[in-house]
Amino acid sequence: MTAILGISAHYHDAAAAILVDGEVVAAAQEERFTRRKHDPRFPLSAIEYCLREADLVPSDVDRVAFYDKPLLKFDRFLETALDQSPFGLRSFVRNVPEWLHERLRVPDAVRQALSGRRVPIVYPEHHESHAASAFFPSPFEEAAILTIDGVGEWATATVGVGRGNRVELREELRFPHSLGLLYSAFTEYCGFRVNSGEYKLMGLAPYGEPRFLEAITSEIVDLRDDGSFRLDPRFLDLATGRRTTSSRFHDLFGGPPRNTESPVTEREADLAASVQRVAEEIVLRMARHAHRVTSLDSLCLAGGVALNAVANGRLVRESPFRHVWIQPAAGDAGGALGAAWFTWHQLLGKPRTAGPGDRQHGSRLGPSFDEDTIRLELERAGLTFRHVADEETLCSEVAAAIDDGAVVGWFQGRMEFGPRALGARSILADPRRAETRTRLNELVKFREDFRPFAPAVLLEHLNEWFETDGFDESPYMLLVARAAKHRRVERPGGRPGLGRRDEPSSTVPAVTHVDGTARLQTVDVERAPRFHRLLRAFEQRTSTPMLVNTSFNLRGEPVVCTPGDAIRCFERTNLDVLVLERFVVERSPDKPTSPRPQELEPTPHPGSSLIRSPAEPSPAFVRTLFLAAAAVSGLVAWRFGVRGWSVTATGFAVVAAASAVAAVAPALAARRLYDRWRLLTAPIARTLSTVLLTATYVFVVVPVAGLLRLLGHDPLRRRFDPSKSSYWTKRTGERTAKDYSRRY
């Protein structure tokens, strides 16, 4: 048996995945356990879950695969600091300690997390992990590969080929020329949070007109026919730690960024429509280029931009590829899975057999909970519940409740891996009711009222309701399609506008957007048998083979993971019914709900003795530290005593005695003393660190940057070159197994 643990961490959406003999057993994002959205920290809880699900202990892990090369990323950070000098001091002072403390100490974190055991670690490049996550679980024997995101080490997009058990990246775009970062810049400018607000920008786009399209393509983006491009650095500030948009950017688009708390206006809608159109055009051109250079009929897609379902829909309809497969966890979380598969197939040379279906198992790779655990949580919460033994009866009752207007929290089986709720951790409602969308946004999800909801539709009825040119299924909610012509509702002409968001665009208005499109999830009996049965029960009752399906969470929180999370979400929202496996909880009419959820601190799930946080030193380490402090302080006290400096010698002697006592104290007492000492010295350490880093920046980075500029050095390769027909950079050189054992 060979067990490979894949890890992604330290930027956003940290995750872990475990392969046993090449088969994925478990994968999950850290945020689901810590309850901190997009948690970037080393995924201790996710690792713990993966080992437990695979029935392994740390000593059973044969290899660890980390999803990128930390030192190569650090090289980009240093080059960027040189390029931004002298305006990058704030970013330099803030980020260097984080790099030195966490991001460059991956081997230490892995060793401590696995109970001190030294395990071989491999480091694929960031976009190799994305490529592997896209190709290896796909149903294709060979395929073109396209990865697009914010940035990895240096690459921001790559084109490659997957054949058999190998992936090969051939071309790349390099930082700071990034479609993901461009989209994020507009996200921030429109008043949404980067790394989570991009979905909002995509949802806002159909309400606007792309009147800023010409300004973007003529002033900011130098786009080529093959999808490669350059971004004008005068408009975007992607590295100094300030806003990502400059004053020149603000002048171009008519004013300062929107304040997060202010109303969304037509300007933001038009900006969203414009940058969305640019993103779609770039993705489509990149796909055509990938087809030209590979001459293959199938395409695999990954990277954060691959979660843009609108662009994916255009790609499927308009690109020359006959088949497209997109990694459901296309962002950084999926890099953990890709790194593990890359290690198994490419580095260990294990064979791969492509099949008619994918190897993602419906992306249901997270934890599940037995009925005894659920019953205990319900009793602990003091809720009145009932157990429905027959599955057919359960689905019929839930379908009837939804038909009567209920909004249902649906918690079934293994949690989804990736950002989409696919029927395991979902909120479900009636798609036929025009008021459903408003009710969900205002009273359940507590989010912006312009955001659309997705339909979960029975696969066998897909073509009766939606135009699906170019694809025959969408199991992972990654494609957008228009409602079928006979299902649309004619709308008056003119600008869509935010004021028309309540006008129905189809006979299922809760799941079609203002432009008549929907982000589809098709449900089949193989991937989700109970969810399929529920949809079938609703279809038999209403002749509508779909439900509104949105993630089971509140705004700003991760999707629920455990029964306890689901119960807390139920109690803090206006959900009518909670279904936990076969347990049904109905909201009591005399129990009022708040119009807004209570602000609660994240409630992390209990840890395990299997693993320990790298930030929490072991008792042995604490005692050794105090013993060393006692020895050093005693030596200094003796030296000062010899010289007759009695006051100083006495002070160090007291420190030595206290440290010696702490070194032999019980583990808990020693740890408490250590924590208090750290609390006392932390402000001093931060001050000294800031002073030292500021001096380093002023007296080292700034002069070196000035010298390099005199020599014509352009570390970020930002210059436009009108004579070039392409900005793609060829990847050269064979990578050996030894290359992947290094962090650079």
For residue 385, the tally of other CB atoms under 10 A from its CB is 16
d(CA 204, CA 269): 6
What pLDDT digit, counting tens, does each position of 349-398 carry?
999 998 888 999 999 999 999 999 999 999 999 999 999 999 999 999 99
pLDDT, residue 555, reads 83
Q: Is the pLDDT of residue 525 over 90?
A: yes
Of 694, 691, 658, the C-alpha closest to 676 is 658
What is the average pLDDT across 391-407?
Answer: 97
For residue 52, the tally of other CB atoms under 10 A from its CB is 15
What pLDDT digit, counting tens, does each position of 213-236 carry?
999 999 999 999 999 999 998 898
The sign of the dihedral angle between the CA atoms of 301, 307, 313, 319 is: negative
d(CA 423, CA 363): 11
Q: Which fold has domain 371-490+498-586?
A: DHBP synthase (3.90.870)
User: Residue 19 CA to chain centroid, in angstroms?
Assistant: 20
Question: Exposure of 683 by Cβ count < 10 A (0-12 exposed, 13-18 middle, 19+ buried)?
Answer: exposed
pLDDT, residue 591, reads 60
Strands 298-302 and 142-148: parallel
Mean pLDDT (the chain, rounded): 90
Residue with the bigger pLDDT between 128 and 234: it is 128
Q: Is the pLDDT of residue 608 over 50?
A: no
* DSSP H/E element including 129: helix 126-135
Strands 323-326 and 298-302: parallel
DSSP 259: P
The residue written with tokens 């060829």 in the block is 730
pLDDT, residue 356, reads 85
d(CA 460, CA 480): 18
pLDDT, residue 239, reads 58
What pLDDT digit, counting tens, does each position of 629-678 carry?
888 888 888 888 877 878 888 888 888 888 888 888 887 777 777 777 77
pLDDT, residue 347, reads 96
Q: Cα(first)–Cα(last) distance of the chain, in Å?
A: 29
Domain ranges of the chain: 127-357, 371-490+498-586, 621-665
Tell me the pLDDT band of 594, cut-offs 50, 70 and 90.
low
What pLDDT digit, counting tens, does each position of 9-65 carry?
998 899 999 999 999 999 999 999 999 999 999 999 999 999 999 999 999 999 999
Question: Is 0.85 surpassed by the pTM of this model?
Answer: yes
Question: Exposure of 668 by Cβ count < 10 A (0-12 exposed, 13-18 middle, 19+ buried)?
Answer: exposed
Q: Which fold has domain 127-357?
A: Nucleotidyltransferase; domain 5 (3.30.420)
Count Cα atoms within 13 angstroms, Cβ side, for 330: 27
Residue with the bigger pLDDT between 328 and 590: it is 328
Highest mean pLDDT among 258-267, 542-551, 567-576: 542-551
Tell me the pLDDT band of 315, cut-offs 50, 70 and 90.
very high
Strands 408-411 and 425-429: antiparallel
Distances (CA, A) of 28 to 2, 31, 34, 609, 719: 20, 9, 12, 19, 41
The answer to whether the beta carbons of residues 266 and 208 sit under 8 Å apart is yes
Of 36, 106, 34, the C-alpha closest to 70 is 106
The sign of the dihedral angle between the CA atoms of 203, 206, 211, 214 is: positive
DSSP 653-720: HHHHHHHHHHHHS-HHHHHHHHHHHHHHHHHHHHHHHHHHHHHHIIIIIHHHHHHHHHTT--TT----
